[in-house]
């Protein structure tokens, strides 16, 4: 339900984490390959055949992308070690954004998670630069050494840019962790970082406009895009913080639907459709055995069963099993429940009290509460 600001296409999985790529990265990689092979390389290192420039340009763009993936992956690995669930990593023009879920392990762990990425970029930059230096010392000054030097500088720049103190850049997260530890107030830390991000975003847009007036077209557009992104991210961050703050005062009992309609797990889908849905108008149903919930089924899951199979498919077969959805209690603050909701039952949780099922809560119930209570 928290949607990433950056959409992207899938690239596959690395270390179990799905990696996506945003269009801006592909554009950037093409621009890098093009600019290097058509302009920078032939101008700086004349005398090579054309294919050598093309090949070097493409290789440089690939190494650039590999460097970005290494940066993001280091975040994912440290986050996993600290109990966060990393759902997806999306590469974009400044590196990547990891979609991280779960309850925060605290400011120290957050600082480590977000500091490791720039550190990896720094190390990649230092390593590639070191190789270039060794080659240069061995007397190999030319195309290869030149492109390695360029890659080293780019990775050092990625490390530096990601350290800008604006969320969702790593620097913003590190600043938040530091403020959180220092003042002990996570909400206030979030709002301060959003405020800094808005200021920085405005400054970057202004810089882009100045660059545009001075005639540096592509760089100016890139800066303006970056600034716009920082502004949008700051607003999202602020909205989210305020929403969570609101929800910290609301217990689950106030948003839940009490005494949900239950269904026996061995009822057939056809039976269920005839006797339950049409009469009740709810769209999620706990399956109970001896009064205990064993699974949770949503209408969407039921509808996926083709009509001819509905007679011999049981509800249990299409339900989300007990170990995959979330349980809560009537007194838990909604803000604590929110990060634990998952996709298995489309963000629904069952509310238990003294070992009995007393209610069901959906992410839609929660967003309705946010809208009602928002200042």
Tell me whether residue 146 or residue 168 sits nearer to Zn ion (CB atom): 168
Tell me whether residue 132 or residue 196 sits nearer to Zn ion (CB atom): 196
Measured from the CB of residue 173, what is the shortest distance to Zn ion in angstroms?
Answer: 8
Measured from the CB of residue 340, what is the shortest distance to Zn ion in angstroms?
Answer: 25
Per CB under 5 A, the segment of 82-90, 164-172, 213-221, 313-321 that binds Zn ion is 164-172
346 binds Zn ion (CB under 5 A): no
Q: Which of 38, 72, 237, 249 is catalytic?
A: 72
- Which residues, numbered 41-100, are part of the site for Zn ion (CB under 5 A)? 95
Q: Kindly report each contact of residues 190-196 with a partner whose C-beta sits within 8 Å and lies 24 or more positions away, as own/partner.
A: 190/237, 190/238, 190/240, 190/241, 191/238, 191/241, 193/165, 193/166, 193/167, 193/237, 194/167, 194/234, 194/235, 194/237, 194/238, 194/241, 195/234, 196/165, 196/166, 196/172
Per CB under 5 A, the segment of 102-110, 162-170, 227-235, 336-344 that binds Zn ion is 162-170
Per CB under 5 A, the segment of 7-15, 109-117, 240-248, 352-360 that binds Zn ion is 109-117
- Which residues, numbered 256-285, are part of the site for Zn ion (CB under 5 A)? none
- Residue 85: in which H helix or E strand, if any? strand 85-92
Per CB under 5 A, the segment of 1-9, 141-149, 158-166, 274-282 that binds Zn ion is 158-166
Give helix 107-137 / helix 143-162 axis angle, nearest 10°. Answer: 160
Give the whole-angstrom CA distance, residue 269 versus residue 312.
8
The position carrying tokens 């209610």 is 359
Tell me whether residue 121 or residue 145 sits nearer to Zn ion (CB atom): 121
110 binds Zn ion (CB under 5 A): no
- Which residues, numbered 180-209, are part of the site for Zn ion (CB under 5 A)? none
End-to-end CA distance of the chain: 21
Measured from the CB of residue 71, what is the shortest distance to Zn ion in angstroms?
Answer: 5
Length in residues, the chain: 375
Q: How many residues bind Zn ion (CB under 5 A)?
A: 4
Task: Order the strands of the 17-21 sheet from edge to edge.
Answer: 9-14, 17-21, 85-92, 95-101
72 is catalytic: yes
Tell me whether residue 170 or residue 238 sits nearer to Zn ion (CB atom): 170
- Residue of 67, 117, 197, 260 interacting with Zn ion (CB under 5 A): 117
Handedness of CA 363, 366, 371, 375 (dihedral sign): negative
170 binds Zn ion (CB under 5 A): yes
Q: Nearest-CB residue to Zn ion?
A: 117
Residues marked active site are found at 72
Positions that interact with Zn ion (CB under 5 A): 95, 117, 162, 170
């Amino acid at each position: 339900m928290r949607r990433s600001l950056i959409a992207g296409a899938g690239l596959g999985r690395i270390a179990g984490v799905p990696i996506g790529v945003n269009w801006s990265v592909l554009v950037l990689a093409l621009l890098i390959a093009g600019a290097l092979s058509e302009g920078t390389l032939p101008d700086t290192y004349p005398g090579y055949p054309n294919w050598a420039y093309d090949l070097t340009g493409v290789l440089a763009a690939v190494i650039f992308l590999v460097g970005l993936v290494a940066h993001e992956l280091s975040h994912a690995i440290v986050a996993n070690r600290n109990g966060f669930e990393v759902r997806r990593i999306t590469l974009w023009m400044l590196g990547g954004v990891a979609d991280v879920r779960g309850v925060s392990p605290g400011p120290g762990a957050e600082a480590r998670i977000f500091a490791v990425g720039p550190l990896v970029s720094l190390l990649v930059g230092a390593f590639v630069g070191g190789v270039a230096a060794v080659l240069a010392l061995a007397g190999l000054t030319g195309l290869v050494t030149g492109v390695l030097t360029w890659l080293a500088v780019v990775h050092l720049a990625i490390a530096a840019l990601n350290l800008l103190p604006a969320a969702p850049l790593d620097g913003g997260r590190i600043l938040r962790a530091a403020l959180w530890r220092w003042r002990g107030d996570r909400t206030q830390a979030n709002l301060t970082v959003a405020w800094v991000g808005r200021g920085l975003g405005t400054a970057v847009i202004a810089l882009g406009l100045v660059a545009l007036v001075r005639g540096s077209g592509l760089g100016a557009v890139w800066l303006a895009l970056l600034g716009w992104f920082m502004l949008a991210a700051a607003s999202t961050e602020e909205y989210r913080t305020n929403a969570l703050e609101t929800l910290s005062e609301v217990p689950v009992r106030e948003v839940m639907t009490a005494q949900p309609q239950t269904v026996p797990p061995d009822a057939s889908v056809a039976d269920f459709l005839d006797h339950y849905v049409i009469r009740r108008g709810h769209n999620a149903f706990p399956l109970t055995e001896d009064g205990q919930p064993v699974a949770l089924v949503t209408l969407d899951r039921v509808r996926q069963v083709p009509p001819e199979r509905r007679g011999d498919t049981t509800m249990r077969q299409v339900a989300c099993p007990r170990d995959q959805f979330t349980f809560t209690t009537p007194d838990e603050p909604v803000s604590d429940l929110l990060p634990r909701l998952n996709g298995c039952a489309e963000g629904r949780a069952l509310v238990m009290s003294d070992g009995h099922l007393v209610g069901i809560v959906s992410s839609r119930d929660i967003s309705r509460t946010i809208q009602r209570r928002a200042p």
